[in-house]
Amino acid sequence: MSSKYREEGARGALIAAVSTVVVFGAFIVLVLVSPNWPRVRDQFFNPEDFRAAAPAVLRGFWLNLRMFGWAVVAIPLVALVVAVMRSLRGPAFLPVRLLAIAYTDIFRGIPVILTILVLGFGVPALDLPGLTNSALFWGVTALTLSYSAYTAEIYRSGIDAVPESQRASARALGLTQLQALRYAILPQAIRNVIPALMNLVVALLKDVALVSVLGVREAVREADIYKARTFNYTGFLVATALFLAVSIPLTRFVDWYAARDRAIRSQTSV
Amino acid sequence: MKLVLDDVYKAFGSLQVLAGFDLTVAEHEVVCLIGPSGCGKSTVLRCIDLLDEIDSGRILLDDLDIAARGVNANDVRRRIGIVFQSFNLFPHLDVLDNVTLGPRRAHGVPRREAEDRARALLDRFGLADKADDYPNKLSGGQNQRAAIVRALMVEPEVLLLDEITSALDPELVGEVLAAIRDLAERGLTMVLATHEMGFARDVANQVCFLDGGRVLEAGPPEAVFGDPTEDRTKQFLTRVRTAGRL
């Protein structure tokens, strides 16, 4: 790099630093001079309440992570079954395809929160023998059903992106449709869509909080309980901090992975 | 083994690709399908391997009509090998896994046995040191030879070769043709769609010129190339000669 460019780089960094300080500084000043700031500070940013609310919210957040963990294992499996069902060809598999299409249409068409409410309150109300009434279970199940519909569509886009010639040459070896999918198509398809899937993982981490509508005492619910008891909102700040502490590293990782994947592909593309 | 196509019709939408196509391939015979691009050479091969469904007619492998309803396509494909113009190796598998996938999964051959056979075949086609490489590390010629090995692994009764040198750099064509010549000398039944006229003249027992969705003229290479009777064949061969390809 010539010195001219280096100078421009240094100047660019200076401009970036100054503009960042000015913009964020102006924003902070605007908040601080607002007439209600002292009240907002006490209600949302109170250090004592932060400490007081932290244990319960942290305990709740641990539940968020566990629910996330269950869903993040179940979703790829359910979605894979749906995607494979939808990818099968031939007239004999029409009912299977229709079932998969109906599933994705329905669960992509319903807001996640509604699925959670319907399953979480509806199924226990049926009082069927052998079925659990656990709000936790039905909340995670609703999340899984909803997210599997999206994930299945991502898988399918990956399957469709594998050239038709790959399927032809797998079938030419005498492999059945399912074998061709399993050994030839899916490994390529899944690799194609991993960056897209990981973005969904970040979204799932946050949507786990929706299970709070069932009364499950996860982080947001615990913050809400603290608010109801003390009329102080600082508990939500605790929850916010916890979510960011996990989601920002996760997002950075997803971006890093996607960039690395692009770099590897551009090197090895044939 | 005997392969017969009897009055085969195949259309893609409004495009009639095969119209009353007849062909007989005897055991140990090497048949070359020639003709201009779009004359249906590749479609014939894809139909034989049941990758495209024919509209009417019969395809007899021995006495079994493999195009008939109720025939298990997987069983048929296990008796036939096909190699494509663009290799179509699986990019996520190394060469050894590429060539053993068929025998292991479609034929239930144990891994050890499949790998032993694979290494022997790879060695025969000059790929002994490439077994653990991924396709993107191989040249076009090596890719195509690996694809030939993949098709041979299941000991097909007939091998279909679909313009297998068309996607290769000119200096790599020779090594692939040498592999095919070797197979011809060993008596493997083969049907080739090819633009390599010189090669067709050398290895074919029967050359078929395709025009209008059927075999317009067929015979031993010296007859078709040396003394064609049909005007369309003469025109085609003149164009090929002008282009310096024969």
Contact A174 B51 (CB under 8 A): no
Smallest CA–CA distance from B98 into chain A, residue: A184
For the residues A139-160, what does the mean pLDDT come to?
96
pLDDT value for B211: 94
Q: Strand, helix or coil at B206? A: strand
Question: How does the average pLDDT of chain A come out, rounded?
Answer: 91
Contact A176 B150 (CB under 8 A): no
List the 200-229 stretch of A: residues with Cβ below 8 A of B.
none
d(CA B230, CA B88): 36
Residue B63, pLDDT > 60, answer yes
H-state helical runs in chain B: 41-48, 73-77, 95-101, 111-124, 140-152, 170-185, 197-203, 221-226, 231-242
| DSSP character at residue B30 | E
Contact A175 B102 (CB under 8 A): yes
pLDDT value for A99: 96
Residue A6, pLDDT > 70, answer no
Query: The tokens 């040396």 sit on which residue?
Result: B226
For residue B194, the number of C-alpha atoms closer than 13 Å in the C-beta half-sphere is: 29
Local confidence band at A131 (pLDDT 50, 70, 90 cut-offs): confident
- Tell me which residue of A171, A161, A89, A90 sits closest to B51, measured CA to CA: A171
Smallest CA–CA distance from A175 into chain B, residue: B106
For the residues A38-54, what does the mean pLDDT come to?
89
Contact A268 B136 (CB under 8 A): yes
Contact B49 A169 (CB under 8 A): no
d(CA A85, CA B167): 35
Beta bridge partners of B159: B81, B190
Take residue B179 and report the two structure tokens written for it.
């592999």
CB B82 within 8 Å of CB B133: no
| DSSP character at residue B104 | I
Contact A172 B154 (CB under 8 A): no
Residues A6 and A108 both lie in one domain: no
* Poorest-pLDDT segment among A52-56, A97-101, A264-268: A264-268
Partners of residue B77 in chain A, C-beta under 8 Å: 171-174
Check if A266 contacts B (Cβ < 8 Å): no
Smallest CA–CA distance from A167 into chain B, residue: B88
Query: The tokens 């002292």 sit on which residue?
Result: A38
Residues A200 and A123 both lie in one domain: yes
Residues A18 and A100 both lie in one domain: no
CB B39 within 8 Å of CB B45: no
Local confidence band at B152 (pLDDT 50, 70, 90 cut-offs): very high
Partners of residue B91 in chain A, C-beta under 8 Å: 188, 270
Smallest CA–CA distance from B139 into chain A, residue: A270
Q: Strand, helix or coil at B194? A: coil
Residue B231, pLDDT > 60, answer yes
Domain carrying residue A152? 47-231+233-268
Local confidence band at B169 (pLDDT 50, 70, 90 cut-offs): confident
Does some domain include residue A40?
no
Check if A184 contacts B (Cβ < 8 Å): yes
Residues A62 and A10 both lie in one domain: no
Nearest to B106 among A175, A187, A188 (CB): A175
- Tell me which residue of A254, A252, A198, A247 sits closest to A219, measured CA to CA: A247
Residue A1, pLDDT > 70, answer no
Residues A1 and A116 both lie in one domain: no
Does some domain include residue A89?
yes
Does some domain include residue A132?
yes
Question: How does the average pLDDT of chain B come out, rounded?
Answer: 93
Residue A90, pLDDT > 90, answer no
Q: What is the pLDDT of residues A187-223, one digit of tens each?
A: 999 988 988 998 899 999 999 999 999 988 999 999 9
Check if A261 contacts B (Cβ < 8 Å): no
Q: What is the pLDDT of residues B103-145, one digit of tens each?
A: 999 999 999 999 999 999 999 999 999 999 999 999 999 999 9
- Tell me which residue of B75, B115, B49 sits closest to A169, measured CA to CA: B49
Per-residue CA distances from A159 to A123, A162, A167, A241 (Å): 34, 6, 10, 38
Contact B77 A173 (CB under 8 A): yes
Residues A126 and A203 both lie in one domain: yes
d(CA A269, CA B1): 41
Does some domain include residue A161?
yes
Beta bridge partners of B10: B18
Nearest to A169 among B78, B80, B84 (CB): B84
Does some domain include residue A39?
no
Say what the alpha-carbon torsion angle A33, A36, A38, A41 is, to the nearest 10 degrees. Answer: -100
CB atoms within 10 A of CB A223: 27
Identify the residue with better confidence: A10 or B188: B188
Per-residue CA distances from A218 to A58, A71, A116, A165, B120 (Å): 9, 15, 15, 49, 61
Local confidence band at A152 (pLDDT 50, 70, 90 cut-offs): very high
d(CA B43, CA B160): 11
For the residues B172-182, what does the mean pLDDT come to?
90
CB atoms within 10 A of CB A185: 23
Distance from CA of B238 to the nearest CA of A (A): 33
Q: Count chain A–chain B contacts defined by CB atoms under 8 A.
A: 66
For the residues A225-231, what does the mean pLDDT come to?
92
Query: The tokens 């064949």 sit on which residue?
Result: B233
Local confidence band at A270 (pLDDT 50, 70, 90 cut-offs): very low
Check if A170 contacts B (Cβ < 8 Å): yes
Q: What is the pLDDT of residues B203-218, one digit of tens each?
A: 999 999 999 999 999 9
Residues A104 and A153 both lie in one domain: yes
Contact A166 B90 (CB under 8 A): yes
Contact B77 A174 (CB under 8 A): yes
Nearest to A172 among B51, B90, B92 (CB): B51
pLDDT value for A142: 96
Residue A186, pLDDT > 60, answer yes
Residues A78 and A113 both lie in one domain: yes
d(CA B100, CA B96): 6
* Poorest-pLDDT segment among A122-131, B24-33, B95-104: A122-131
Local confidence band at A267 (pLDDT 50, 70, 90 cut-offs): low
Query: The tokens 């599997």 sit on which residue?
Result: A148
Distance from CA of A70 to the nearest CA of B (A): 29
Does some domain include residue A99?
yes
Check if A270 contacts B (Cβ < 8 Å): yes
Query: The tokens 């195009």 sit on which residue?
Result: B67
Structural domain count of chain A: 2
Smallest CA–CA distance from B99 into chain A, residue: A173
Residues A54 and A166 both lie in one domain: yes
Distance from CA of B136 to the nearest CA of A (A): 6
Contact B102 A174 (CB under 8 A): yes
pLDDT value for B168: 87
| CATH code for position A199 | 1.10.3720.10
pLDDT value for A261: 80
pLDDT value for A268: 57
Residues A14 and A57 both lie in one domain: no
pLDDT value for A188: 94
Helical pair B170-185 and B140-152, crossing angle rounded to 10 deg: 20
Partners of residue B151 in chain A, C-beta under 8 Å: 172
Find the angle CA(B92)-CA(B95)-CA(B101) to the nearest 5 degrees: 75
Check if A179 contacts B (Cβ < 8 Å): yes
For the residues A10-37, what does the mean pLDDT come to?
90
Take residue B134 and report the two structure tokens written for it.
């991924």
Beta strands in A121-239 (DSSP E): none
pLDDT value for A262: 81
Distance from CA of A124 to the nearest CA of B (A): 45
Identify the residue with better confidence: A3 or B28: B28
For the residues A213-234, what does the mean pLDDT come to?
92
Specify the amino acid at residue A221: R
Does some domain include residue A104?
yes
Residues A15 and A67 both lie in one domain: no
Q: What is the pLDDT of residues B73-109, one digit of tens each?
A: 999 999 999 999 999 999 999 999 999 999 999 999 9
Residues A64 and A188 both lie in one domain: yes
- Distance from the first to the final alpha carbon of chain A: 32
Does some domain include residue A20?
yes
Q: Mutate one of A159, A164, A165, A173 to test the B interface: name it (highest B CB count within 10 A).
A: A173
